[in-house]
Structure 1
Amino acid sequence: MSDKVFDTAAHSPAEASAAAAAGPLLGISLVLIAFNLRAVFSSLSTVLPEVISDTGLGPVWASVLTTLPVVCLGVFSFPAPALSRRFGPERVIFASMLLVAVGTGLRGLGLPPFLFAGSFLAGAGIAVINVLLPGLVKRDFPRRVAMMTGLYTMALCGSAAAAAAFTVPFERSLPGGWPAALALWGLPALAAALIWAPQALKTGRHATGARPAVHGLFRDRLAWKVTLLMGLQSAMAYIVFGWMAPMLRDRGMEGASAGFVLSLCVVFQMLACLALPALATRGRDQRWACLLMFGFAALGFAGCYFLPLSLAWIGGVLNGIGQGGLIALAMTLIILRSPDANVAARLSSMAQGIGYILAGFGPLLAGVLRGATGSFAAPTLLFLLIALIGSWAALEAGRNEIVKARVEP
């Protein structure tokens, strides 16, 4: 399937005008926003042992802390379409970016209440942006869906890679230690919000008002399989963000080296994010691409546990290829399975809302299993089971079909 399938999709006059006006600056702005949507996860995981030691959080509360923003990704995905219809997607994204910046900064206070509150606010802001980005791509770049999806999912992984690589060095070099290192990631989020502000002010006033309602998604089998695939691959991703570095450190790897392996993993996620949408849309469907990526992700995470520490980077690379390919494919499928931008926004809300709530159980269960068993063997088996179920969902979600939803004025 090629991106050209979207040329024949139904677009409203407003959407056609927006698409004509879309240019490089808008695309760059979207990529900069996406670059700030994962640092809140990987930055914490690389200094989690220090956080636990300094705050007294036990394994269960540490699991809750790593899971909280993921759960927020699910809960706050549902109101995103309504907020977009009321205020316009550009203005909602601007406000959400400010929430991400404030929430990330709050974690720099270093006390458990602020760690939880900051994670909550950042997760809420990220959730809303996650839902609205596919609709903007569908609306403004109908002929460049694969390219734009690849670029912004690559940026998602880029923020995770940067946070994984530099948080520990920041923690060691900054006077404030790990709280300062965590808070520092609020600065690029604030910068992205300020860069986006002119777009919000310029277009927001035209975006309010009623838009067509979408019905029938929750009765559509294909929509549920897309949702399940999104949730399961996300569960795997947040197990990686939350527990790959602690797992390597538990095995005896030094903190900066563990952060490097996680960063290497996410660098390869970036490369896969850029390549997979274009490659996947060239075939008849996306089933085999999904199955291959689930296989890479599972082998890579298992390799980080079973391989000698000197070869753990191989596991990181394999997992990065698989995990990056999966997030790019999941976001691409939301767009490919939707007939127009309105359905894409609703399917995005459903897939990410329910999917991220499901995903939140991934790092939580991994942490509970780690605390109960005293090793990372059980979390590794959990990861492999999730990959197996995700592969089953991909057999239908990857088919070349469109969700059966009604769009009414």
Structure 2
Amino acid sequence: MTGIKNTAYPPIIVFLALLMTILVMRGPITCVGAVAEEIIKTLHIGYPAYGFLTALPIACFGLFCAAAPAMSKRFGLLVTVLICLALILIGTAGRLIPSYSVMLMATALIGIGIAVLNVLMPVLLRDYFPNNIALVMGVFTGFIGFSGSIGAYFSVPLLDAFGSLEAPLGLWVLMSALALVAWFLAPRAKRITVAGGAFQWALLKKPLTWAVIFVMGMQSLTIYTTVAWLPTILSTLGFSASEAGLGSAVFLLVSAPASILTAAFIKAVGGERPASLIMTASFAIGIVLWLLGGTWSFVGCVLAGIPQGITFSMAMILMAKKTNSLSQLLVISSLAQGIGYVLAGFGPFICGLLYQGDGQWLSVVGFMLCAVALWGLSAWYAFGDRKLFD
């Protein structure tokens, strides 16, 4: 990996460009779940079609994250970021057209843009802040959670205020446009490229590899399935659309400070294995509490939201611990995110098949509890003493 070894902090416009880029890495996706019923009505689709729509960007995360090193090598990291933001801008603008087929194509563009940013943004942050990596990565994951909470919380108020889906969906046209403008105004830096190591097919024969993949994949499956379906679950329990959106926002918002405190939490409980056990139990209890209604549902949002922040950070820590070099880390990161996000994409879609529109959520909750349990078992195994590479 090569890049600029900055010794000074970047100018304020770069801070703004980085911040705006992070803020469009989850919100364009999480905004959909809060207005699910309006989307279903406007596009004249059923729950399975809605489930496919919400699964599509997560599947794109997995299918296209492997393109990040090649694009960076070809265009340079900063130009690749601009390309990704342009894809997100085009996709968010395309979603304003009330057509299911157009919505699918636009959503795919958003997913592709975010997929590449998922891999390259940590590299860009490391280049700009080489002396504060731990803090910056914690803030990075925290702001990703904040991005998701903006999408979940503000969708319903915008829909109510303007009476149209164009308002909550259009917010992300504005946000992505501002991110693009910020990068065009930022000072031009030297070309930054990323070079990865060679993929080893033998990795797929190792149980440890699949444990790492499931740690990444099940964490992603649970968060995106929750974002897509929690507002609908809460609505059937008697919550207003605004309250249901607030539940999703709480779920995402508490994950932000939790992710920053991951290292302290692991140290406090005596290691990654007990931490994974506690987080598995917390998420499982949170899911069950969703169905109790009232204040208990919001308690469940908190108990499920805290693990989301910590398990994402633990997945990053796990990949770093199981590799010996940056090239190995890039290989396993692309592999784990690639297969993991493809697996995660099935979560919202499967829930769409399981839910019959009758307000009965036991099959959906059972599916999610199985995913949480698989994450816990995989994390317990993966955080052993084994290494992925000899």
TM-score (norm 2): 0.90
Q: How many residues align?
A: 387
Q: 1:323 is matched with which residue?
A: 308
Letter in 1 for 2:389: K
Q: 1:390 is matched with which residue?
A: 375
Structure 1 residues 106, 251: CA separation in 2 closer, same or farther (over 3 Å shift)? same
Q: Is the contact between residue 272 and residue 322 of structure 1 (CA under 8 Å) also seen in structure 2?
A: yes
Q: 1:213 is matched with which residue?
A: 197
Q: What secondary structure is seen at the aligned counterpart in 2 of 1:313?
A: helix
Equivalent of 1:349, from 334, 341, 345?
334
1:336 Cα offset (Å): 3.8
Structure 1 stretch displaced more, 25-34 or 225-234: 25-34
Letter in 2 for 1:184: L
Letter in 2 for 1:302: V
Structure 1 residues 403, 386: CA separation in 2 closer, same or farther (over 3 Å shift)? same
Structure 1 residues 301, 227: CA separation in 2 closer, same or farther (over 3 Å shift)? same
1:51 counterpart = 2:36: no
Per-residue Cα deviation, 1:210-254 (whole angstroms, up to 9, x for no partner): x45334354554343222110011110111110000111122211
Identity of aligned residues (%): 28
1:328 Cα offset (Å): 2.1
Q: 2:319 is matched with which residue?
A: 334
1:288 Cα offset (Å): 2.2
Q: 1:40 is matched with which residue?
A: 28
Q: How does 1:7-22 map to 2 (within 5 A)?
A: 14-15=2-3, 17-18=4-5, 20=7
Where structure 2 has 5 or more consecutive residues not aligned to the other structure, the ranges are none
Q: Is the contact between residue 294 and residue 326 of structure 1 (CA under 8 Å) also seen in structure 2?
A: no
Structure 1 residues 227, 199: CA separation in 2 closer, same or farther (over 3 Å shift)? farther
Distance, in Å, in 1 between the alignment partners of 2:253 and 2:68 is 29
1:272 counterpart = 2:258: yes
Q: 1:189 is matched with which residue?
A: 176
Distance, in Å, in 2 between the alignment partners of 1:355 and 1:127 is 12
Q: Is the contact between residue 91 and residue 108 of structure 2 (CA under 8 Å) also seen in structure 1?
A: yes
Q: Is the contact between residue 90 and residue 203 of structure 1 (CA under 8 Å) also seen in structure 2?
A: no
Equivalent of 1:224, from 201, 210, 219?
210
Distance, in Å, in 2 between the alignment partners of 1:231 and 1:264 is 22
Q: How does 1:6-405 map to 2 (within 5 A)?
A: 14-15=2-3, 17-18=4-5, 20=7, 23=10, 29-137=17-125, 141=129, 144-174=132-162, 177-197=164-184, 201-204=188-191, 207=193, 211=195, 213-216=197-200, 217-218=203-204, 221-280=207-266, 285-305=271-291, 307-371=292-356, 375-399=360-384, 402-404=387-389
Q: What secondary structure is seen at the aligned counterpart in 2 of 1:207?
A: coil
Q: What secondary structure is seen at the aligned counterpart in 2 of 1:327?
A: helix
Q: Is the contact between residue 69 and residue 196 of structure 2 (CA under 8 Å) also seen in structure 1?
A: no
Per-residue Cα deviation, 1:133-170 (whole angstroms, up to 9, x for no partner): 33445555555333222111111111111111111110
Where structure 1 has 5 or more consecutive residues not aligned to the other structure, the ranges are 1-11
1:22 Cα offset (Å): 6.2
Distance, in Å, in 2 between the alignment partners of 1:338 and 1:354 is 18
Q: What secondary structure is seen at the aligned counterpart in 2 of 1:339?
A: coil
Q: What secondary structure is seen at the aligned counterpart in 1 of 2:234?
A: helix
Distance, in Å, in 1 between the alignment partners of 2:305 and 2:224 is 13
Structure 1 residues 125, 169: CA separation in 2 closer, same or farther (over 3 Å shift)? same
Structure 1 residues 52, 106: CA separation in 2 closer, same or farther (over 3 Å shift)? same
Structure 1 stretch displaced more, 111-120 or 132-141: 132-141
Q: Is the contact between residue 58 and residue 344 of structure 2 (CA under 8 Å) also seen in structure 1?
A: yes
TM-score (norm 1): 0.86
Q: What secondary structure is seen at the aligned counterpart in 1 of 2:388?
A: coil
Per-residue Cα deviation, 1:245-299 (whole angstroms, up to 9, x for no partner): 0111122211001011111111111121221145447887522222222222221
RMSD of equivalent CA atoms: 2.6
Structure 1 stretch displaced more, 360-369 or 212-221: 212-221
Q: Is the contact between residue 108 and residue 180 of structure 1 (CA under 8 Å) also seen in structure 2?
A: no
Distance, in Å, in 1 between the alignment partners of 2:86 and 2:313 is 25
Structure 1 residues 400, 81: CA separation in 2 closer, same or farther (over 3 Å shift)? farther
Q: Is the contact between residue 149 and residue 277 of structure 1 (CA under 8 Å) also seen in structure 2?
A: no
Structure 1 residues 199, 227: CA separation in 2 closer, same or farther (over 3 Å shift)? farther
Q: Is the contact between residue 254 and residue 309 of structure 2 (CA under 8 Å) also seen in structure 1?
A: yes
Structure 1 residues 171, 368: CA separation in 2 closer, same or farther (over 3 Å shift)? same
Distance, in Å, in 1 between the alignment partners of 2:236 and 2:370 is 22
Distance, in Å, in 2 between the alignment partners of 1:312 and 1:362 is 21
Q: Is the contact between residue 159 and residue 168 of structure 2 (CA under 8 Å) also seen in structure 1?
A: yes
